[in-house]
Structure 1
Amino acid sequence: MRSQTFVIVGLGLLGGSLGGALREKFPKARIIGVSRSKIKIRLARHKKCITSGFTSFQPALKKADMVFVCTPVDTIIPLLKKIDQYAKPGTPVTDVGSTKSQILRSVQKRGAFKHIHFIGSHPMAGSHLTGISHADSHLYDHSFVFVTKHPKMNSKAFRQVIALWKRICGRVIILTPEQHDKIVSEISHLPHVIASLLAEIASSTSLKYASTGFRDTTRVAQGDSALWLPILMTNRNNLVRLLSRFRKRVQALEDYLRRGNTGRLSAFLKKAVKKRQKIALK
């Protein structure tokens, strides 16, 4: 039985970290990186994230058993079209994108690919740090991975993608693209927006004295804006609805403070403590 060949398109933090994880879980496998940057390819090889790398698709994809697209969400569809030109028939392709509904709609509108079977994935792992230089083979350890289902998906590719993620992370959650986008709007996208608002609203004078509380609360606001802009835009409908709910809660809290309603304010704080403790217990 020949060794497996995995291809990673995009050698940033997520792609590099995935390559490192694959090398540890599948020591005999070929891990091929694809990037327009020769510097990134050299650094990825130096960090043992990949076994080889190419700046073009054709030589990388001809023997691929599975392809991972690890690029910003607004580039995934164009890349899938290119991958379909060179991959062998039946190749499973997945991604690590933070939104799913718009990608799937584009795929379904386009029609079936000629060679590839696309299955959308999203590992709940990451960092405010970016780039291949920060790649960590343990980034995905114990993370949840969402794998999305839809009526027209290829069942064999679906099973292959799930099996692969179970080897990498161990915790796979299967849901629809719509369910996925609603969940991440609450636990990832809105928190990023709020952290950014907190960082933006603080005065320069106050920031001089910011300590652990403010740093922890706003850490994710350091994320690359070029990556976050398409994430927020492709999930904007969920985010707008959630911001409306958030605005109402802020207005209620403002009313408690204005009226000096310590009872309601205390209940609000206690409820938040209990919800936050549920995360700590997982």
Structure 2
Amino acid sequence: MMIHNVAIVGVGLIGASLGLGLKDNHKIEKVVGIDQNPHHLQQALDIEAIDETADIKKGVQAADLVVVAVPVGSIKSVVDEVLKYAKAGTIITDVGSTKSNLVQDLEHKSATKDCIYIGGHPMTGSEVSGPIAADKYLFENAIYVLTKTEQTDQASLDELQQLVEGLGAQSLIISPEHHDQTVAVTSHLPHLVAVNLMKTASEYEVDDELITSLIAGGFRDTTRIAAGDPEMWKDIFLNNRELVLNAVEVFEDKLADFKEMINQASAEELETDLEETRQARRELPMKKKGLLASNFELILTLPDEPNAIGQAATLLGEAGINIQDIEVLKVRDDGGTIRLSFKQEEEQEQAYRLLKENNYKVVKKQ
């Protein structure tokens, strides 16, 4: 079955960004937005992420694909409602950050209604929420997980895979269990750590306001994800509770070992541990492919001149070097610094040499 009509339930950041991306697909004839928040619906209409709005009954009746882009804790109840009105053969997917519990329940329920449920998880996002932050390039070069089980309809999976790759994403087909184990360590645990780093800094700030005023870039980078949507992360932690707790226990063991080395003033042991960890981090991009694409980055310092970023990007583009992502890190009166991300280590190395040859101040980031 070809996908021509899409209904998106939940037009927040991810839902509205999907709408914008799908509107560029010439095969998609209509994108319908469904949301309990009328303000979000109006914003989605204003930015042309959707063609029209509807309630869930009317909105899903003609849909070939229904994307449920609501917090993880609400996905099951929304899909239950969708199944009341969806036509036979409709593909239903979600964008939730946990998969096992959802797939196990919703795959069976959907099959009883002659619909096809395929779990999804675009590995992208922002600490800013709502359709006002939507970006049709949000999925560009991002990993987009689609789950596969023994019950998955292969033709529907192929169709959905083509669709997400049309957004510029890199599709990854894995089991729900593999997905949840991986993100517990690579996504959910880091968020938990970032939240508690912020809480720790807040404790000290009560007595010393310089703590926050002197916070360094490393702390800001490490805790940036703590600004994520609280409702979404509450649902993630509870829905992937067992695997998150397992990861926390391992982290606590490692932290206790590290604490003991400091407590015992074990200088040699501490330095060895730090060196081994540094080496492991440096080797990380060279290990076998995992859930996330490897990024090879440069930190580039630019002068305060018109089109300074454009000139550097043009220099690399004319040399055939593709920049995967650009992020402005700091802006000063005399210029600023940006982060350039490349998909391949060879591109990072070529860009580094070329920028150096043209007298740019540039540093490789490991």
Q: TM-score, normalised by structure 1?
A: 0.92
> Does 2:221 correspond to 1:219?
no
- Among 225, 245, 266, the residue aligned to 1:259: 266
Which stretch shifts more, 220-229 or 24-33?
24-33
Alpha carbons of structure 1 residues 58 and 115: separation in structure 2 relative to 1, 3 Å:
farther
Q: Output the CA distance in 1 between the equivalents of 2:198 and 2:118.
A: 36
Query: Does structure 1 residue 40 correspond to structure 2 residue 47?
Result: no
For residue 272 of structure 1, report the CA deviation from its aligned partner: 4.5
Q: What secondary structure does 2:24 align onto?
A: helix
Rounded to whole Å, the distance in 2 between the matches of 1:275 and 1:246 is: 20
Equivalent residue of 1:33, what SS?
strand
Q: Is the 8 A contact 1:61 1:87 kept in 2?
A: yes
1:53-83 deviation digits (Å, cap 9, x = unpaired): 12x1122112111111100111111111111
Alignment of 1:80-229 (within 5 A): 80-107=79-106, 110=109, 112-202=111-201, 203-204=204-205, 205=208, 206-229=211-234
Question: Residue 78 in 1 paired to residue 93 in 2?
Answer: no
Residue identity matched to 1:199: M
Runs of 4+ in 1 over 4 A off after TM superposition: 108-111, 275-278
Q: Which runs of 5+ in 1 are unaligned?
A: none
Fraction of identical pairs, as percent: 29
Q: Distance in 2 between matches of 1:18 and 1:170?
A: 11
User: Which sections of structure 2, spanning at least 5 residues, go unmatched?
Assistant: 287-293, 297-342, 344-366
Q: What is the distance in 1 between the residues matched to 2:177 and 2:285?
A: 27
What is residue 250 of structure 1 aligned with on the other side? 255
Question: Does the 8 A contact of 2:148 with 2:175 survive in 1?
Answer: yes
Report the Cα offset of residue 159 of structure 1: 1.8
| Distance apart, 1:27 and its partner CA | 7.4
Report which of the two structures shows the higher radius of gyration computed on alpha carbons.
2
Bigger mean CA offset, 95-104 vs 32-41: 32-41
1:161 offset after TM fit, Å? 1.3
Quote how far apart the aligned CAs of 1:198 are: 0.5
- Matched to 1:13, the amino acid is L
Cα displacement string for residues 82-130 of structure 1 (whole angstroms, at most 9, x for unaligned residues): 1111111100111111000111222256573314211001110111111
State the partner residue of 1:14.
14
Structure with the bigger RCO (C-alpha within 8 Å, sep 6+) is 1
Partner of 1:60: 59
**1:3 CA drift (Å):** 8.7
Q: Which amino acid letter does the alignment assign opposite residue 11 of structure 2?
A: L
- CA distance in 1 between partners of 2:273 and 2:189 (Å): 22
Q: Which amino acid aligns with 1:250?
A: L
Partners of 1:10 and 1:168 in 2: CA distance: 18
Which residue of the partner structure matches residue 274 of structure 1?
282
Please say if residues 83 and 113 of structure 2, whose CA atoms lie closer than 8 Å, have aligned partners that are also in contact: yes
Q: Secondary structure at the match of 2:180?
A: helix
Counterpart CA distance in 2 for 1:80 and 1:170 is 24
Relative distance call for 1:181 and 1:61 in structure 2 (3 A) is same
Q: Aligned letter for 2:223? A: T
The residue type equivalent to 1:209 in the other structure is L
The match for 1:31 is 31
Which is helix-richer, 1 or 2? 1
Superposed displacement of residue 48, structure 1 = 1.2
Task: Measure how far apart 1:26 and its partner are.
Answer: 3.2
1:25 match: secondary structure: coil
TM-score scaled by length of structure 2: 0.72
Q: Number of aligned pairs? A: 280
Give deviations 1:196-248, integer Å, cap 9, x for gaps: 01001112131232132211110000111111011011111111111111112
- Opposite residue 226 of structure 2, the aligned amino acid is A
